[in-house]
């Protein structure tokens, strides 16, 4: 061989070997341009090559190749693909920020044969009893939780607002938070929490102990309240359950038992995910208005278990103000076979309520470690679902959190802490924070005292004229054991001062135990008593305006003691002394058996009430000196009440016995919506004047109220024995989502039914004379006969997102004076 050929051939092989030895290594992170959150499971490949990888749960990737390449491509479902140039033969960092792709959901069509995804899904459902974490006797783990709330959609128009201009200095650094290609966001809250979470089955019980919390936020003062919400208890989503409750709405899982009714599927790929060979399935709602997800999930080939899922709800769903809900989850198999989520990320994107407002992003992240299974504790251990350690805010040093975080903070998150510290000290921000706190809590805080509630500051009615009221109470800065408060009111027409004073002692927070004494002098109405409208503050406030129905002055002294004896069971004892001084024509016979007996107008009563309340799975949180119920989950709430009236105490006139019961329950019916019912019954054993009986709450206004019988007149009926049912059903989008023209409006059907059986003994009516001692005709009271009072209603809510219209029909007692057979009533509600 000629020497020149040998040399040329050698050079050729040298060049070829050199080229193959040069490897291009690219690593980086893929994030959402709108939120800054990482995008797990995204595809990253070299352009025009098959070599690539997927991002991990934190959005990181690393890929390398020995061939000559000049660019790398990143893509993921729901996002616009993006290409970036790279340098051949070098190790480099390339980050991607992907923009969401606004597109209608694709239609999935199979020409012949069965969809290949269907056998996989049938196996997933069949293996739920093995793979679902709730199949375990118990499990526990350490949880690291991180919550961030940001203001987004910050437009130039929003920046020009007067109050926004005053935070320009902070806004100038927004671009750094958003990132290279991202949209500007303004953080207002960030928190980190370390907790220990416990679950046991049969009975199903949960317990979470918040060990440490680090909280920084605009307007956040009491870390103990916030700490109860930022653990894992409120961020736990189990796709093995048929329905996931998010923002008080039920969303159907893509692996629900009835998956075929709600979703279409694509089997796109199979690949190794970690150590498991998995099928990749993309899923889409059959109707885009339904409360369902679209996204991608990975199902293991051997166990048919959910390995990873990325599920999104978009603004096409029948929700208000919600632009997007995204849940990303990574699961790990336990030694017992069931799979437990080890990483969760939830995004809640709330859109602009009006064009002049910005939006809000709420981002939640949890990581679970040190998982132990099938080691249940005694039931007593789980009595309190959420407990905050006394030293939860002590020792929150940077060194502590660096050692405890399951994942380190990103540079962006470290900047968030600094920005919030700056933002919350700006005077205009403090002012708006105070306004929001007043709107939510009803009180304005002044050091150790709260002034309010604002709903009661002013009223105008036929008895008092202009009524002005100012209330005051102490807060936890004054004492976390003693609470003092009261109000002073004045009416310009009756020239009468009204007042209230109370003192409350918290004896125990562990088993919530309180003692309270109060004295009140005020005005009230028969059938519209404030005590009967607790929990309906707006309707109660409305009753203070206009014409007062059967008004009376009263003096009342109450002594209340209550204690949670064990989880879910609360015992209360009340002593109540009350006077009745009517401001309308009223009198009663003091001797019912004699038609000529002396007449009286005023009434004094002294009574002792014993009340037992059982709510098996009711969840409470403690807010400073209050305990707030978040409702029960599966079980009804039962209340039994016995009252003994005692004559002779401080001039009290009557001895009597009354027994009552109440049952409340919310029913989640999945596809068909949500129902709730309230059943009440009571019996009074003695003969009493009707102000001491049950005067049923009517509603003569044009506004709908769940506290009243909406087609019943004020004080139309009273009963000594009664049973009532209030039933409400919310169809969500079940019907209207299926009507092409209506589904775009996002209206929702509602239905109501109010039924009342009541009885008023003739002896009770005989207590009322026709005329009083001055010859003035006495106002009588109506009663129910053998037929029940029935009203049915149907309507539409979510009109313009805030308006509800109810069409109501009264079916019985139509011959009563001024009875309305039909009415259209309105109400305003802020709902998702």
Q: What is the DSSP letter of 10?
A: H
Domains of the chain in start order, with CATH, are: 3-98 (2.60.40.1120), 132-237+337-432 (no CATH), 248-318 (no CATH), 533-550+564-828 (2.40.160)
Question: Would you state the pLDDT for residue 752?
Answer: 96
Q: How far apart are CA 527 and CA 537, in angstroms?
A: 16
Q: What is the pLDDT of residues 194-248, one digit of tens each?
A: 999 999 998 888 888 888 888 887 766 555 556 566 666 677 889 999 988 887 7
Q: How far apart are CA 749 and CA 675, in angstroms?
A: 12
Q: Is the CB of residue 448 less than 8 Å from the CB of residue 476?
A: no
Separation in Å, CA 786 to CA 659, 758, 789, 812:
21, 8, 10, 11
The low-confidence residues of the chain, meaning pLDDT below 50, are 1, 3, 6-20, 104-105, 108
Q: What is the pLDDT of residues 545-561, one digit of tens each?
A: 889 989 999 999 999 99
Distance between terminal CA atoms of the chain? 84
Question: Would you state the pLDDT for residue 105?
Answer: 46
- The tokens 């480099």 sit on which residue? 92
Question: Would you state the pLDDT for residue 438?
Answer: 66
Separation in Å, CA 531 to CA 528, 586, 694, 720:
8, 21, 12, 18
Handedness of CA 813, 816, 822, 824 (dihedral sign): negative
- Listed in sequence order, the residues at least 6 apart from 119 whose beta carbon sits closer than 8 Å to its beta carbon are none
Q: Is the CB of residue 40 less than 8 Å from the CB of residue 328?
A: yes
Question: Would you state the pLDDT for residue 17?
Answer: 42
Question: Would you state the pLDDT for residue 6?
Answer: 45
Q: Is the CB of residue 56 less than 8 Å from the CB of residue 40?
A: yes
pTM for this structure?
0.79
E runs forming strands in 671-719: 674-684, 694-695, 718-719
- Listed in sequence order, the residues at least 6 apart from 501 whose beta carbon sits closer than 8 Å to its beta carbon are 485, 486, 518, 519
**How many other CB atoms sit within 10 Å of the CB of residue 482?**
12
Q: How far apart are CA 482 and CA 607, in angstroms?
A: 26
- Listed in sequence order, the residues at least 6 apart from 603 whose beta carbon sits closer than 8 Å to its beta carbon are 579, 580, 588, 653, 654, 689, 691, 692
Q: How far apart are CA 644 and CA 573, in angstroms?
A: 11
- Locate 219 and state its tokens: 């307007």
- Locate 379 and state its tokens: 């039931």
Query: What 3-state class would DSSP assign to 133?
Result: helix
Kindly give the pairing relationship between strand 186-200 and strand 82-85.
Answer: unpaired
- Listed in sequence order, the residues at least 6 apart from 14 whose beta carbon sits closer than 8 Å to its beta carbon are none
Kindly give the pairing relationship between strand 294-300 and strand 276-285.
Answer: antiparallel
Q: How far apart are CA 518 and CA 556, in angstroms?
A: 8
DSSP labels, 561-628 = EEEEEETTEEEEEEEEEEEEEESSS--EESSTT-TTPPEE--EEEEEEEEEEEEETT--EEEETTEEE
- Locate 554 and state its tokens: 């009263």
């Amino acid at each position: 061989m000629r020497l020149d050929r040998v040399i040329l051939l050698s050079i050729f092989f040298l060049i070829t070997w050199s080229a193959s030895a040069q490897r291009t290594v690219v690593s980086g992170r893929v994030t959402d341009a709108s939120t800054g959150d990482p995008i797990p499971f995204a595809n990253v490949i070299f352009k025009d090559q098959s070599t690539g990888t997927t991002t991990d749960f934190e959005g990181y990737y690393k890929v390398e190749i020995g061939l000559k390449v000049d660019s790398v491509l990143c893509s993921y479902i729901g996002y616009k693909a993006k290409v970036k140039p790279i340098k051949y033969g070098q190790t480099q960092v390339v980050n991607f920020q992907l923009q969401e792709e606004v597109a209608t959901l694709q239609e999935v069509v199979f020409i012949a044969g069965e969809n290949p995804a269907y056998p996989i899904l049938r196996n997933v459902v069949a293996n739920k009893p093995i793979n679902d974490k709730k199949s375990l006797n118990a499990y526990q783990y350490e949880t690291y939780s991180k919550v961030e709330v940001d203001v987004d959609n910050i437009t130039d128009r929003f920046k020009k607002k007067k109050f926004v201009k005053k935070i320009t200095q902070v806004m100038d650094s927004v671009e750094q938070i958003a990132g290279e290609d991202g949209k500007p966001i303004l953080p207002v809250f960030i928190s980190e929490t370390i907790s220990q979470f416990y679950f046991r089955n049969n009975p199903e019980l949960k317990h979470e102990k918040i060990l440490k919390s680090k909280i920084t936020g605009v307007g956040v003062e009491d870390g103990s309240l916030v700490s109860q919400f930022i653990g894992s208890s409120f961020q736990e989503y189990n796709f093995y359950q048929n329905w996931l409750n998010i923002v008080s709405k039920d969303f159907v899982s893509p692996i629900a038992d009835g998956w075929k009714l709600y979703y279409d599927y694509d089997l796109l790929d199979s690949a190794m995910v970690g150590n498991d060979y998995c099928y990749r399935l993309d899923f889409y709602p059959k109707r885009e208005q339904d409360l369902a997800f679209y996204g991608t999930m990975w199902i293991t080939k051997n166990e048919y278990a959910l390995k990873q899922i990325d599920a999104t709800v978009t603004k096409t769903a029948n929700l208000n103000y919600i632009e997007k809900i995204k849940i990303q989850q990574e699961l790990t198999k336990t030694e017992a076979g069931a799979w437990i989520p080890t990483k969760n990320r939830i995004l809640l994107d709330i859109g602009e309520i009006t064009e002049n407002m910005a939006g809000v992003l709420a981002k939640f992240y949890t990581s679970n470690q040190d998982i132990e299974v099938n080691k249940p504790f005694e039931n007593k251990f789980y009595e309190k679902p959420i407990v905050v350690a006394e030293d939860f805010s002590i020792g929150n040093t940077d060194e502590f959190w660096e050692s405890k975080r399951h994942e380190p903070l990103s540079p962006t998150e470290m900047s968030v802490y600094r920005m919030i510290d700056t933002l919350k000290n700006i005077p205009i921000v403090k002012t708006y924070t105070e306004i929001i706190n007043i709107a939510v809590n009803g009180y304005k805080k002044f050091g150790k005292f709260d002034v309010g509630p604002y709903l009661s500051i002013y009223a105008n009615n036929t008895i008092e004229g202009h009524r002005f009221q100012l209330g005051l109470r102490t807060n936890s800065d004054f004492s976390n054991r003693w609470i003092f408060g009261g109000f002073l009111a004045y009416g310009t027409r009756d020239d009468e001062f009204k007042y209230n004073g109370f003192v409350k002692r918290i004896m125990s927070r562990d088993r919530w135990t309180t003692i309270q004494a109060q004295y009140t002098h005020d005005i009230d109405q028969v059938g519209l008593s404030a005590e009967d409208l607790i929990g309906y503050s707006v309707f109660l406030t409305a009753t203070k305006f206009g014409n007062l129905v059967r008004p009376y002055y009263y003096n009342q002294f109450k002594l209340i003691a209550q204690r949670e004896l064990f989880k879910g069971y609360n015992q209360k004892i009340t002593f109540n002394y009350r006077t009745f001084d009517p401001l309308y024509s009223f009198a009663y016979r003091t001797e019912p058996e004699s038609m000529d007996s002396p007449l009286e107008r005023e009434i004094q009563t002294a009574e002792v009430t014993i009340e037992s309340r059982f709510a098996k799975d009711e969840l409470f949180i403690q807010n400073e000196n209050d305990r707030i119920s978040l409702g029960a989950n599966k079980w009804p709430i039962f209340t039994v009440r016995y009252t003994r009236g005692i004559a002779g105490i401080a001039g009290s006139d009557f001895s009597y016995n009354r027994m009552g019961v109440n049952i409340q329950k919310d029913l989640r019916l999945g596809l068909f919506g949500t129902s709730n019912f309230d059943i009440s019954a009571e019996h009074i054993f003695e003969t009493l004047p009707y102000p001491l009986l049950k005067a049923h709450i009517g509603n003569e206004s044009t506004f709908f109220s769940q506290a009243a019988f909406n087609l019943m007149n004020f004080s139309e009926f009273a009963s000594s024995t009664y049973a009532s049912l209030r039933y409400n059903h919310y169809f969500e989008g079940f019907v209207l989502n299926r009507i092409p023209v209506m589904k775009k409006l996002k209206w929702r059907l509602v239905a109501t039914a109010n039924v009342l059986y009541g009885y008023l003994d003739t002896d009770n009516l005989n207590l009322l004379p026709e005329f009083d001692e001055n010859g003035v005709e006495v106002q009588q009271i109506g009663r129910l006969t053998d037929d029940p009072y029935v009203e049915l209603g149907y309507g539409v809510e979510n009109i313009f997102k805030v308006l509800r219209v109810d069409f109501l029909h009264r079916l019985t007692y139509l011959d009563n004076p001024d009875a309305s057979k039909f009415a259209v009533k309105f109400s305003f509600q802020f709902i998702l």
